[in-house]
Structure 1
Amino acid sequence: MIKTRISLSFKRKARTMTGKRLAGVCLLLGCLFAAGQLRAQQTFPVNGVADPREGCYAFTKATIVKSAGSVLTNATLVIRNGRIISAGTGAIPADAVVIDCSGKFIYPSFIDAYSDYGTQAVKKGNVSRRDDPQFISATKGAYGWNQAIKSEVNAAGIFTTDAATAASLREAGFGTVLTHQQDGIARGTGVLVTLADGRENKAIIKEKASAQYSFDKGSSTQNYPGSLMGAIALLRQTFLDAQWYRSHPEKEGVNLSLQAWNDNQSLPQIFEVGDKWDALRADKIGDEFGVQYIIRGGGNEYQRIPEMIASKAAFILPVSFPLPIDVEDAEDARFVALSDMKHWEMAPSEPGAFEKAGIPFCLTADGLKDVKQFLAGVRKAIEYGLSEQKALDALTQAPAKLLKAEDQVGSLDAGKLANFLITSGNIFNENTVIYQNWVQGKKYSIKDDNWKDIRGTYTLTVSPGNASYTVLIKGTASTPALSLLAADTVGGSFSFSGDLVKVAFPVKKGSAQLRLTGIADGNGWSGTGVDTSGNNIHWQAVLNKAFAATDSAKTKPQAFIGNNYFPFNGYGWETLPAQQDLLIKNATVWTGEQDGKLENTDVLVRNGKIAQIGKNLAAGSAKVIDGTGKHLTAGIIDEHSHIAISRGVNEGTQSVTAEVRIADVVNPDDVNIYRQLSGGVTASHLLHGSANTIGGQSQLIKLRWGADAEAIKFAGADPFIKFALGENVKQSNWGDRQRERFPQTRMGVEQLLTDAFTRALDYEKQGADKRKDLELETLLEIIHSKRFVTCHSYVQSEINMLMHVADSFHFHINTFTHILEGYKVADKMKAHGAGAGTFADWWAYKMEVQDAIPYNATIMQRVGLTVAINSDDAEMARRLNQEAAKSIKYGDMTEEEALKLVTLNPARLLHVADKTGSIKTGKDADLVLWSDDPLSIYAKADKTIVDGIVYFDREKDKELRQRISSERNRLIRKMLAEKKKGTPTQKAAPAEEDNYHCEDLQGGHQHSLLDDENGNN
């Protein structure tokens, strides 16, 4: 009865109040009620007098947006004890505090599904070669072996409310966030919390709301993983270990990390990535183990919408769009990548592109330097194609559903938490003011001073004299402006604070001003002032017509953006090329087969295969390419390459890393693919580096420029793996602190190899119930000739040693690469069955190559080995035809045999000679049409064809260069215009690319600046 009498008494008094004072008193009392119920935790003692009152409020006459697409006009929202009772036109409870929301909008508060609110930021680990290596986790306790796997971390256990951060998030419209400690590869669980102040107990909605992952090992100081492929391998092995641990806990003992990993699998699985390819990598890992990840995107996924659709993943998209680049200095602009410029222009279109494609997503403020820019980012996405309805859904219902919390938050349905915004209008209108953000039934003022929208037309009278003026107050709800409506409309000044107002305006154009001061009085103001002559006056302003708030944001024309490219690169395609039948006529055809070199010969290509070779062939429906005076060869195959690899070519942190896979980190956007097509290369064998004895699994690709990471892989090719010997694996040049990883000597390398294969055989004997070890599984593939070895090698003693170890375990070394002392042991290599991939004339670049000679390839070939010339270098690969020609100079090799060094021979070494490497009926149409003799330094690849598709055309290349120049100029002008408008800019930075080499230890890389014509700009 007490609370009823108080409420009714207040209600009777409230009827005599108006405007802002009514709202202020109501909301103040409401806060007292709400604060009481928020503190009402029954297990906590009360220090003082207990306050059992409930907070019941009725927000009347509002436009209520219950959810995206569900709008109620002139409706009432009723809440009690922190939850929604009703939203619509139902009866108002007798004990409710009634708050008039005429002209106002009520929305569900936003939900951010990716945040670190209330958790302590963890400093990222910084490991260098100057540090002692760390092989095992330094985390104390019954946890797993790797410090980057932190499945046991529960965000609920470390979460603390943060009043300052919560306030800034509430001001941006948020009422709920999913937060977790953003540290490690497996990051443990996330906790779903409201942004209410007070005790954490009441703020937590779901204690374990998600499981969190990334490819970043974070604060771990442990060496492994040291590359992206190592991080992926660790995830894959942890999945397997956790499955095994579930069935065999007695064999492992207590492992809290694996136990937590298993426990967390039933939760929504969220994976943070940095870009579109990482999104697909994460999704592929999930597919392997039956997990559908929710992907926290990197912001460039719009570049590959078909692949994002195919992933079937839901996404959390940032609105931290890049700033325009300051390109005012022409010299700075010269080095800015075109891809960076285009990303600036196109990034805001990502949410709209996802909506159009039907990909589920929500939006996050994560990544913004200032959360105050969040709504501006959402509005920009709307300007670039996102609908308002989908934007609201992405901020409310979509994240609630992803987090399985739609019964608690996300809409204004009965029974849900009273988390809502009160605004002056459409939330996506640039001028809309958020007055209040209610969280769990408690009011948080954002811009309460503007609660009453004072805009409208007023009649202002002045006495003595009873002069009357018509005054228009317009502008925005937060920054109104005044105009005197007369024969000559003139502007004036207007300011208000609380109930106080100050007005000044000339009574006519050019006259002195009336200067007035007053206070709110019903639907207007009254007070005193001075007239144009300085005489004291009284005044009163009465509202004639109120400003009518619109329910839609001001429509802007959709922003123009340029075309997407595949890859997202100056030389990319606007539409991926399609296969077509081709007839190449009247060329000199270097078959690479017994037919040798054929003059004035035609080659017909159908369905991506070589269909016919001969003279005067009928074209039929095939496109005719004139080869008169030109030379046609099989495409060049680079047997040893490190292009198109993302974030590290070496996982050199352990001596044996057979579990890592180049296939996991193929980067189809690498401009070196296009560059090498321009040099006649059609296939490349992507190898792990030489930092450890048994490195990672390699990947053979075809240079299908524009295809995605899966589509450029050479389907059906035998799997290979990289071994290494010599200075690198024993860490001769790694620094004085790198003296702990075994082996440290060449004889230790032999022992390591013997031990690794012995462990693999012992593992095989353990039976089907054993823990699946991906490292040992790979070694068994080698023993059983299901995977083949390419070995980095220089010194003859080590070459002999490895062949001896292989013979002992009954497998053979497929290819010795580099092999600069191969001429010394060619006979033994032939007896063993090994081939050779070598350099044409490299020598003396380190101690173990002092005995290299330029006759090496010819000597090994004459002994009967299959010999290839390879690059190990992104630049050298563009001229492998010339590298092959060096064996004519140094070893008097025939022209046709020299060309085979970079065509048929590498195909044989890679076990794909039945598909490519020569011009033969039935083989893949991987061809190069040269302007001159292919072994001449004057020869240029006019057309490079892969599977019957012309992926490089020199004439088309000229057109692309013109397009690059035009597109750069357009974007530079656009960014200069943004700077002129006062838009903040980012500093121009040179574009960089990762060019890996075998010698880049521990995933190191070299950076090279791109010139302004290369199109990767």
Structure 2
Amino acid sequence: MSLFLRQLGLAGGLLLSTAVAAQAQPSTYPRNGVYDQRPGLYAFTHATIFTDYKTRLTDATLVIRDGRVEAVGTGVKIPAGAVVTDLKGRYIYPGFVDLYASYGLPEVKAPERQGRRSGPQFESQKAGAYDWNQAIHPETSAAELFKVNDDQADAYRRLGFGAVLTQQADGIARGTAALVTLNTNRKEQEVVLADRAAAAFSFDKGTSTQDYPSSLMGSIALLRQTYLDADWNQRNPAKEQNLSLRAFNQQRQLPQIFDVRDKQSALRADKVGDEFGVQYILKGRGDEYQRLSDVQATKAPLIVSLNFPDAYNVDDLYDASRISLEELKHWEMAPANAAMLAKAGVPFALSAADLKDKKKFLPNLRKAIQYGLTEEQALRALTATPAELLQLQNQVGSLKAGMVANFLVCSNRLFADDNVLLDNWVQGQRYQLSTVPSDYRGVYTLKIGSQPELKMLVAGKPDAPEMRLVLAPKDTVRGALSVNGELATIVYNPTPKTKGAAVRLSGFYTPETRLFQGDGQLADATSVKWSAQRQEEATRAARRDSIKAPEPVQIGQALFPFVAFGRAQVPQQETVLIKNATVWTSEAAGKLENTDVLLQNGKIQKIGKNLSVPSGGRSIDGTGKHLTPGIIDEHSHLAISEGVNEGTQAVTSEVRIGDVVDAEDVDVYRDLAGGVVAAQLLHGSANPIGGQSALIKMRWGMTAEQMKIEGAPGFIKFALGENVKQSNWGEMNVLRFPQTRMGVEQVFVDAFTRAKEYEQEWKAWNKLGKGKQKKGEAPRRDLELEALVEILNQQRFITCHSYVQSEINMLLNVADRMGFKVNTLTHILEGYKVADKMKAHGVNASTFSDWWAYKNEVRDAIPYNAAIMHDAGLNVAINSDDAEMSRRLNQEAAKTVKYGGLSEEEALKLVTINPAKMLHLDKNMGSIKEGKDADVVLWTDHPLSIYAHPERTFVDGRQMFDVESDARMRQEVEKERLRIVQKMLDAKKAGAPTQGATAKANKHFHCDTMGEDKELDN
């Protein structure tokens, strides 16, 4: 049979399969016309078959029937009636599975609000017995919305996918995802393999037009409360027919997929999952390598995107300077993410998610392999792992009897550079992706008539072969080889210098025997027979010779945190003796001259003179320098992710700043450079009762959880004034209660009245004892009220944003009436007017040094405020409420020496021991005393001087900042930037796509910051 006929027969058989599969119909669906239901029986022989990611069969046979695998192996008997296709020299692999897609689902579009300047929306506008919040809609079913889409399916099939998990990526609780095949010749009911394959979640409220939540911490709080409400609803089905919560409970046993924005939110999601006994499958953004050990510790499987950033266009110096080090390093290191995860033993599935251009998937996959991912690991992540994560490994992910007939036919090894995906079979349906010319490359033995044998090399690309003849060890001539269908032609000159005396050979190529043969004519017109037989072993050698070995990929190292001034390792605790310094103790001992302080095991071990350095320790000469306790900022908004205010409701005590601590905010490092060792991260002032605080130490390089102060008491933010009654929010914000200062008072009264009732309800339940408690009758847990009950029981403490005397009096009266204490009045710029009442209540004062006249309610502020309150016997602190001012709190405290005449030691206490007392941390922090935490700062000069700056800042005995390291890191940052910029220039020169440079702003939050970038008037 000629090559042409053989090719026609192969194509005809495959085309026949298309017609047969298209005619198959499920029995429950009638057909208008005659029925022609065929079994779809095919046998693929002599192929190299990977039945799974690690099992390779040579010269094997695959038999499929009616869209399922019937048999696979080396000794398989071909059933009668099967359409047989010889795939000698070809490879068969299981079809890929993508766990994150929206294939076949309607586009997610947010409904338009009424008019451009519509007011707030407090309640859900979704009709029906569903959840109170539009972002919670677990009743959404992808299978019910799914519709086969030819164009979308074709795009996925060309990447090698045979099945995808499709979900409507909208909202926090998104509903169920469906596993569907990419067969477009069958109806929806036939291609859905699992209608409830997984449940989907995120922290993104999506298209919900409801105001709550408006922040990341609000989204986390809403999800946490939803879990609790679902538990209560399951115990009390007769009390509330909530279809959303019912669906939520029905999905608990499904695989849970959580879409996160970055590696920090991956850790946040896992923490929520741990709280409710759920192990999420985390769908990340490809930056997991930046916190590899922490991601590994979650034990969460991942869905890993291959969406690598393009190089930046850095030709222009000014443009290049706008790109952060983080962005530069991520461009370089992102392709290594999968390999690093695999090396760490983290299970993951690869996905085409987040790729705007899906055609980049396969090139990026090969790039990931170039960066260290093995071919076996890649194949596993595309087949077996996604199937196992869905617990559907009996359906997809490998080729075994009874499984769905999803497989790829390849021209070569799947991940070889010159491989071509020829066919993608989905449910026994062939989709031809491309054709590839026969690969003629190799080393041949060329026989021409009776002449001595020659060695013929064919190299180059499969579709553009290049030919050379070896006449002698160091003597070769080039020729031309062309193959058109079954016909082949070779033309060459017998010697390198011969002209006008070409040898011409014509004939045909037989792929089964890898033989060229035919008739030829020599330069002297002699007719000859010729043949060229390819030598297999020599072929591989020729390919090695024809392909330049790629240079090993070199990338930089991860930093902790992954930003400028991050380090390869977090500083370790040291034994350090600081000698002969002026020590400001902030204790009764006062200021000690020429004194030594020993830091050991994270504690202040000894204070004295002429101390010796313990073995293994080091000494620092403090002569002429000043050692103080580390500064504590009682009121800060740095290191908070995606919103400092959840201002959508009057009471949001359920939200927690601790959920959204940003361990990568460079302001943490800047604070260390200003001598700050700890801070209270406060919710903003958008509502009377805001969210819970986070108390952190400036442990630069550690995770958000590790930055939190162990055993720290709970705090919460309250607020008074213009912000909470929305007088400065604009004309559309006139609906949320309260709108007056009188209304603010009633919010407090109402909230604590409800909290007391809630507490009594639980007390009554617990009093019954286990013997009398009836199943399902336990009260509903309410996180908002639980936080208020903690206040009533002095387990959580209030920091209240305050300005005006009348409101301060109001809050203290409400507190006395309702039976709770106000711990701290912050800002408190009219505190000098009510200092006596504050002392009677036992409240602390945290104020600004000299802010005044920046808005109406501070027109009576005076710079003597702090000193007056101090002299009245109050515990007073100076705070920042500003990431920039936080670095100069020593100078802010120094102003009280001028404005009020405080002593230097008392002034320093305003930012050390006094805020420690306010935050109930003074047992371990805030002063230099034996046994306390080794949080100290060595200053170059008098600590209240504007000329002083920290030379070294220690946190827990770790040297987290020093001027020498800072100078060195600045040089290293510039060196690293230059190295990567040069690499980007080379990439652009080599033809790599580029993107424009955009500056990444470091957002600073304040009390009145709404959302991430919109700020109320001060």
User: So what's the TM-score if we normalise by structure 2?
Assistant: 0.92
Counterpart of 2:232 in structure 1: which amino acid?
W
Q: Using a 3 Å threshold, how does the CA distance of structure 1 residues 514 and 366 change in structure 2: closer, same or farther?
A: farther
Aligned partner of 1:887 among 890, 896, 900: 896
Indicate if the aligned counterparts of 1:590 and 1:598 stay in contact, CA closer than 8 A: yes
The aligned counterpart of 1:6 is none
Aligned partner of 2:751 among 734, 753, 756: 756
Residue correspondence of structure 1 range 267-666 to structure 2 within 5 A: 267-448=254-435, 450=437, 452-455=438-441, 473-477=458-462, 479-483=463-467, 485=469, 488-490=476-478, 492=480, 494=482, 496=484, 544-545=533-534, 556-621=550-615, 622-666=617-661
The aligned counterpart of 2:245 is 258
The aligned counterpart of 1:839 is 848
Q: Using a 3 Å threshold, how does the CA distance of structure 1 residues 789 and 1003 change in structure 2: closer, same or farther?
A: farther
Q: How far apart, in 2, do the equivalents of 1:189 and 1:146 lie?
A: 18
Aligned residue for 1:262, secondary structure, equals helix
Aligned residue for 1:79, secondary structure, equals strand
Give CA deviations for 1:364-392 in whole Å, capped at 9, x if unaligned.
Answer: 01011222211211111111121111111
Give CA deviations for 1:81-110 in whole Å, capped at 9, x if unaligned.
Answer: 211122211222232222111111111111
Q: How far apart, in 2, do the equivalents of 1:522 and 1:315 lie?
A: 44
Q: Offset of 1:526 from its aligned partner?
A: 10
Give CA deviations for 1:278-315 in whole Å, capped at 9, x if unaligned.
Answer: 00100000000000000001211111111112101000
Q: Offset of 1:761 from its aligned partner?
A: 1.6
Indicate if the aligned counterparts of 2:518 and 2:530 stay in contact, CA closer than 8 A: no
Residue correspondence of structure 1 range 774-785 to structure 2 within 5 A: 774-785=783-794
List runs of 5+ in structure 1 lacking aligned partners.
1-13, 1008-1017
Q: Offset of 1:930 from its aligned partner?
A: 0.4
Q: How far apart, in 1, do the equivalents of 2:1009 and 2:112 lie?
A: 19
The aligned counterpart of 2:42 is 57
Q: How far apart, in 2, do the equivalents of 1:514 and 1:744 lie?
A: 97
Q: Using a 3 Å threshold, how does the CA distance of structure 1 residues 489 and 15 change in structure 2: closer, same or farther?
A: closer
Aligned residue for 1:921, secondary structure, equals coil
The aligned counterpart of 1:700 is 695
Q: How far apart, in 1, do the equivalents of 2:233 and 2:259 lie?
A: 26
Tell me if 1:709 matches 2:704: yes
Q: How far apart, in 1, do the equivalents of 2:33 and 2:435 lie?
A: 31
Q: How far apart, in 1, do the equivalents of 2:824 and 2:155 lie?
A: 61
RMSD of aligned C-alpha atoms?
3.0
Q: How far apart, in 1, do the equivalents of 2:529 and 2:444 lie?
A: 10
Q: How far apart, in 2, do the equivalents of 1:335 and 1:542 lie?
A: 63
Q: How far apart, in 2, do the equivalents of 1:744 and 1:504 lie?
A: 92
Counterpart of 1:288 in structure 2: which amino acid?
E
Counterpart of 2:465 in structure 1: which amino acid?
A
The aligned counterpart of 1:1011 is none
Aligned residue for 1:992, secondary structure, equals coil
Indicate if the aligned counterparts of 1:129 and 1:734 stay in contact, CA closer than 8 A: no
Aligned residue for 1:575, secondary structure, equals coil
Q: Offset of 1:763 from its aligned partner?
A: 2.2
Q: How far apart, in 1, do the equivalents of 2:900 and 2:639 lie?
A: 33
Tell me if 1:858 matches 2:867: yes
The aligned counterpart of 2:722 is 727
Q: How far apart, in 1, do the equivalents of 2:922 and 2:909 lie?
A: 11
Q: Offset of 1:20 from its aligned partner?
A: 2.0
The aligned counterpart of 2:214 is 226
Residue correspondence of structure 1 range 779-818 to structure 2 within 5 A: 779-818=788-827
Aligned residue for 1:398, secondary structure, equals helix
Q: Offset of 1:519 from its aligned partner?
A: 8.6
Indicate if the aligned counterparts of 2:444 and 2:534 stay in contact, CA closer than 8 A: yes
Aligned partner of 2:675 among 671, 675, 680: 680
Indicate if the aligned counterparts of 2:516 and 2:532 stay in contact, CA closer than 8 A: no
Q: Using a 3 Å threshold, how does the CA distance of structure 1 residues 633 and 818 change in structure 2: closer, same or farther?
A: same
Counterpart of 2:932 in structure 1: which amino acid?
K
Indicate if the aligned counterparts of 1:794 and 1:819 stay in contact, CA closer than 8 A: yes
Give CA deviations for 1:335-354 in whole Å, capped at 9, x if unaligned.
Answer: 21111111111111111111
Residue correspondence of structure 1 range 929-1008 to structure 2 within 5 A: 929-1004=938-1013
Indicate if the aligned counterparts of 1:650 and 1:1003 stay in contact, CA closer than 8 A: no
Tell me if 1:108 matches 2:97: no
Q: Using a 3 Å threshold, how does the CA distance of structure 1 residues 701 and 158 change in structure 2: closer, same or farther?
A: same
Q: Offset of 1:577 from its aligned partner?
A: 1.6
Counterpart of 1:597 in structure 2: which amino acid?
K
Q: Using a 3 Å threshold, how does the CA distance of structure 1 residues 63 and 540 change in structure 2: closer, same or farther?
A: farther
Give CA deviations for 1:671-702 in whole Å, capped at 9, x if unaligned.
Answer: 11110000000001000001111000001101
Indicate if the aligned counterparts of 1:527 and 1:538 stay in contact, CA closer than 8 A: no
Indicate if the aligned counterparts of 2:677 and 2:955 stay in contact, CA closer than 8 A: yes
Aligned residue for 2:219, secondary structure, equals helix
Aligned residue for 2:819, secondary structure, equals coil
Aligned partner of 1:922 among 931, 934, 949: 931
Aligned residue for 2:899, secondary structure, equals helix
Counterpart of 1:574 in structure 2: which amino acid?
A
Q: How far apart, in 2, do the equivalents of 1:434 and 1:120 lie?
A: 29
The aligned counterpart of 1:869 is 878
Q: Offset of 1:530 from its aligned partner?
A: 13
Aligned partner of 1:70 among 55, 62, 71: 55
Give CA deviations for 1:895-932 in whole Å, capped at 9, x if unaligned.
Answer: 00000000010001101111110111111111000000
Give CA deviations for 1:410-463 in whole Å, capped at 9, x if unaligned.
Answer: 11112111111111111111111111111111111011354x445557899999
Give CA deviations for 1:241-296 in whole Å, capped at 9, x if unaligned.
Answer: 011011112222x2111111111111000001111110010000000000000000
Indicate if the aligned counterparts of 1:230 and 1:660 stay in contact, CA closer than 8 A: yes
Counterpart of 1:698 in structure 2: which amino acid?
S
Indicate if the aligned counterparts of 1:151 and 1:188 stay in contact, CA closer than 8 A: yes
Indicate if the aligned counterparts of 2:3 and 2:486 stay in contact, CA closer than 8 A: no
The aligned counterpart of 2:109 is 123
Give CA deviations for 1:837-858 in whole Å, capped at 9, x if unaligned.
Answer: 1000011111111111100000
Counterpart of 1:429 in structure 2: which amino acid?
A
The aligned counterpart of 2:775 is none
The aligned counterpart of 1:237 is 225
Give CA deviations for 1:536-594 in whole Å, capped at 9, x if unaligned.
Answer: x9999966227778799987454111111111122112122211221111000001111
The aligned counterpart of 2:198 is 210
Q: How far apart, in 2, do the equivalents of 1:157 and 1:265 lie?
A: 19
Indicate if the aligned counterparts of 1:653 and 1:1002 stay in contact, CA closer than 8 A: no
Aligned length: 985
Q: How far apart, in 2, do the equivalents of 1:322 and 1:281 lie?
A: 24
Indicate if the aligned counterparts of 2:634 and 2:846 stay in contact, CA closer than 8 A: yes
Aligned residue for 1:251, secondary structure, equals coil
Indicate if the aligned counterparts of 1:518 and 1:527 stay in contact, CA closer than 8 A: yes
Q: Offset of 1:482 from its aligned partner?
A: 3.7
Q: How far apart, in 2, do the equivalents of 1:894 and 1:662 lie?
A: 35
Indicate if the aligned counterparts of 2:68 and 2:427 stay in contact, CA closer than 8 A: yes
List runs of 5+ in structure 2 lacking aligned partners.
766-777
Q: Using a 3 Å threshold, how does the CA distance of structure 1 residues 833 and 495 change in structure 2: closer, same or farther?
A: farther
Q: How far apart, in 2, do the equivalents of 1:885 and 1:909 lie?
A: 20
Q: Using a 3 Å threshold, how does the CA distance of structure 1 residues 86 and 475 change in structure 2: closer, same or farther?
A: farther
Q: How far apart, in 2, do the equivalents of 1:502 and 1:324 lie?
A: 44
Indicate if the aligned counterparts of 2:633 and 2:676 stay in contact, CA closer than 8 A: yes
The aligned counterpart of 1:139 is 126
Indicate if the aligned counterparts of 1:657 and 1:694 stay in contact, CA closer than 8 A: yes
Indicate if the aligned counterparts of 2:516 and 2:533 stay in contact, CA closer than 8 A: no
The aligned counterpart of 2:768 is none
